[in-house]
């Protein structure tokens, strides 16, 4: 193992031994470039390379291999050759960077493949190759595969940066173009600081762990998580980094969002993929192939919120939400127009609240589908839930329609379970009043059924008509007449309003359950066009302030059938 210095003689050729103090370097020699040098004809190699200030090494489209460390105070012109700087682990060299670029140093990457064990760039100049720069982290116990500070002059040059190899860290205060993380299975690459990615981000092996040291992550292109790989947003000294993607995310591996605020132009979990959603908010601003979000794998909602926000960025059009069997916790829909739609396939399962701020949320086709909203369905101004011509089964905990909203009931069954609460304190609120002015549009198709198994309090406009209602609990109506076009099956009813609120049933009224069907105010009319049937329990026809029967004006056009109860 010897040392040799290039000081140039009759020419600048690397392979001319007369230009070196101790002959052309081999893989066992320490080489110093102390004058301008060109690697001529064939590849160059050495065990360690130093380029001194004012000197230039021109690789001239040839390959260059440095087994240990490279120190650049002068200039390195790589061109199209393949560069290899400590590609493999060398025992005893862990404390030294594979490539160190000093304050006056210049690294001009060219177009070839570059493999760098580790990099230190604090104030020098580095222009990456337009091809792939692989920071392979094979520096023994060296903790970082790349350390790039804001004070350096760094140009990603439209190339791809790959972080591979065993466990390593990277600390980068500059922007990159395309980025790949491809650590071996069971190994991770920990990102302590990161600039923005103007191209794509691909996690293709091992685990990529992103921490926050006062920074967030932004990706302009597509983010891809391949099978067998993991992308984790983890807590650093400044908490969990936020992630902002302009394009969509495609996950076939595992994506752990933790408590990060995540933004993407669509989210696709492919077959075999597992997505652990953020406990904060996932905001979706675009779509991929007509889908804003799909699930062919598995989602875990972690009690977080998915916000389909096409309004803020001005995204136009209609999109599809295909969650398959996975559940969301909170879902907010905010389209760029009241007419733009978010349609769901097969099943929509929301374990807490669905809020429609703007646009239409509806089933995709007329084939039978279902939606289950365990908490509140909140329809804001310019929001619509449902559409004419679709056949779905809807279950919700409670309903709050705000001014300017619209609801089209399912032509099948809509069940309101009286679970959770909304700002009105009502189980069902579709009424225009002084504190909630402005029209609500409620469309009830023929053949539809409204089920109220848990009872509750419903408040609606006099103009609202229902088709079928079945209430196995006890419910109260506030400040409006109750109009049912077809059948009414009810256990207990407690109307609450002034004289003149009426009760009309277009077909049969059947009293079920053990509760008493309570009184309505004096002077009100009950009109039953079909049969009045008492299966069990009592019907109280007293007026609220009256003490004798007959305060309700009952018009019965069918038969009175008593199967075990009574009128009191």
Average of per-residue pLDDT across 418-427? 92
- Note the maximum CA span of the chain: 126
Show the tokens assigned to 443. Answer: 């469309």
Residue 416 backbone dihedrals phi, psi, to 5 degrees: -115, 115
CB of 388 closer than 8 Å to CB of 443: yes
pLDDT value of position 191: 76
For the segment 440-450, what is each residue's pLDDT rounded down to a tens digit? 899 999 989 99
User: Has residue 557 got a pLDDT over 90?
Assistant: yes
User: Which pLDDT value is given to residue 549?
Assistant: 47
pLDDT tens string 127-157: 999 999 999 876 555 678 889 999 999 999 9
Q: Which of 25-29, 75-79, 85-89, 382-386 has the lowest mean pLDDT?
A: 85-89
pLDDT of residue 152: 96
Residue 165's nearest CA partner among 119, 224, 205 is 205
Given a cut of 70, whether residue 496 has pLDDT beyond it is no
Average pLDDT on 63-85 reads 96
Report pLDDT for 141: 53
Q: How many helices (H) and strands (E) does the chain have?
A: 0, 64
Q: What is the pLDDT of residues 159-178, one digit of tens each?
A: 999 988 765 678 898 999 99
Please report how many Cα atoms fall inside a 13 Å half-sphere around the Cα of residue 123, on the Cβ side.
Answer: 4
Residue 88: predicted pLDDT: 62
What is the pTM (predicted TM-score) of this model? 0.91
Q: Residue 218 and residue 215: Cα distance in Å, rounded?
A: 10
Q: How confident is the model at residue 317 (pLDDT cuts 50, 70, 90)?
A: very high
114-123, 333-342, 545-554: least confident range: 545-554
- Tell me the average pLDDT across 79-91: 81
Q: Which residue did the predictor score with more confidence, 491 or 519?
A: 491
Q: Which whole-number Å values give the CA distances from 40 to 209, 459, 518, in the listed order? A: 43, 88, 101
Question: According to the model, what pLDDT value does residue 535 have?
Answer: 94
Give the mean model confidence (pLDDT) for residues 467-481.
87
Q: What does the domain layout of the chain look like in residue ranges?
A: 1-155, 485-491+503-568
Query: Per DSSP, what are the bridge partners of residue 267?
Result: 249, 293
Comparing CA positions, the residue from 408, 312, 273, 293 lying closest to residue 350 is 293
Looking at the chain, the whole-number percentage of residues with pLDDT higher than 90 is: 67
For tokens 């101004």, the residue is 381
Q: Are 185 and 206 in contact (CB under 8 A)?
A: yes
Does the structure show a pLDDT above 70 at 547?
no
- Mean pLDDT score across all residues of the chain: 89
Q: Which residue has the higher pLDDT, 361 or 464?
A: 361
Mean pLDDT of 98-119: 95
What is the pLDDT confidence band of residue 10, given thresholds at 50, 70 and 90? Answer: confident
Contact between residue 249 and residue 230 where contact means Cβ atoms under 8 Å apart: no
Predicted pLDDT at 419: 94
The band of 522, judged by pLDDT with boundaries at 50, 70 and 90, is low
The count of other CB atoms within 10 Å of the CB of residue 246 is 18
Strands 341-344 and 56-58: unpaired
Which of 110-124, 126-140, 423-437 shows the highest mean pLDDT? Answer: 110-124
123/148 Cα distance (integer angstroms): 9
pLDDT of the residue at 350: 98
**pLDDT tens-digit readout, 364-404:** 876 678 999 999 999 998 999 998 877 779 999 999 999 88
Percent of the chain with pLDDT over 70: 91
């Amino acid at each position: 193992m010897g040392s040799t210095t290039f000081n140039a003689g009759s020419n600048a050729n690397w392979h001319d031994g007369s230009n070196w103090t101790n002959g052309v370097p081999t893989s066992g020699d320490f080489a110093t470039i102390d004058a301008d040098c060109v690697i001529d004809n064939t590849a160059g190699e050495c065990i360690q390379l130093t380029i001194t200030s004012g000197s230039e090494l021109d690789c001239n489209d040839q390959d260059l291999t440095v087994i240990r460390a490279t120190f650049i105070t002068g200039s390195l012109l790589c061109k199209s050759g393949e560069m290899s700087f400590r590609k493999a682990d060398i025992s005893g060299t862990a404390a030294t960077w594979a490539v160190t670029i000093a304050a006056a140093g210049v690294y001009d990457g060219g177009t070839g493949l570059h493999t760098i064990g580790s990099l230190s760039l604090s104030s020098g100049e580095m222009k990456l190759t337009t091809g792939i720069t692989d920071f392979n982290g094979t520096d023994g116990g060296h903790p970082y595969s790349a350390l790039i500070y804001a004070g350096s002059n760094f140009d990603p040059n439209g190339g791809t940066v790959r972080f591979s190899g065993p466990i390593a860290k990277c600390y980068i205060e500059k922007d990159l173009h395309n980025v790949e993380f491809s650590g071996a299975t069971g190994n991770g690459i920990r990102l302590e600081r990161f600039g923005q990615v103007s191209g794509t981000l691909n996690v293709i092996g091992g685990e990529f762990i992103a921490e926050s040291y006062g920074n967030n992550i932004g990706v302009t292109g597509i983010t891809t998580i391949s099978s067998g790989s993991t992308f984790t947003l983890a807590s650093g000294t400044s908490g969990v980094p936020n992630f902002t993607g302009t394009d969509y995310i495609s996950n076939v591996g595992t994506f752990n969002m933790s408590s990060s605020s995540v933004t993407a132009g669509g989210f696709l979990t492919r077959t075999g993929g597992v997505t652990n959603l953020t406990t904060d908010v996932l905001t979706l601003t675009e779509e991929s192939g007509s889908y804003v979000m799909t699930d062919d794998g598995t989602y875990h909602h972690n009690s977080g919120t998915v916000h389909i926000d096409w309004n803020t960025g001005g995204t136009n059009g209609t999109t599809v939400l295909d969650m398959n069997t996975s559940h969301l916790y909170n879902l907010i829909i905010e389209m760029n127009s009241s007419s733009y739609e978010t349609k769901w396939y097969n099943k929509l399962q929301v374990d807490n609240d669905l809020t429609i701020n703007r646009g239409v949320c509806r089933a995709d086709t007329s084939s039978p589908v279902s939606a289950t909203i365990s908490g509140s369905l909140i329809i804001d101004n310019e929001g619509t839930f449902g559409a004419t011509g679709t056949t779905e089964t809807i279950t919700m905990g409670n309903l709050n329609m705000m001014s300017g909203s619209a609801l089209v009931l399912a032509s099948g069954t809509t069940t309101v379970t009286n679970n959770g609460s909304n700002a009105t304190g009502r189980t069902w609120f579709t009424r225009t009043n002084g504190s909630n002015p402005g029209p609500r549009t409620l469309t009830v198709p023929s053949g539809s059924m409204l089920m109220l198994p848990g009872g509750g309090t419903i408040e609606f406009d006099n103009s609202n008509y229902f088709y079928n209602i079945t209430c196995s609990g006890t419910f109260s109506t506030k400040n409006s007449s109750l109009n049912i076009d077809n059948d009414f099956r009810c256990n207990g009813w407690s109307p609450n309003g002034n004289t003149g609120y009426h009760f009309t049933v277009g077909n049969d009224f059947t009293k079920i359950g053990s509760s008493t069907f309570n009184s309505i105010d004096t002077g009100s009319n009950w009109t039953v066009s079909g049969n009045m049937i008492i299966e069990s329990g009592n019907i109280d026809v007293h007026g609220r302030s009256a003490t004798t029967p007959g305060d309700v004006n009952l018009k019965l056009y069918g038969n009175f059938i008593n199967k075990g109860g009574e009128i009191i």
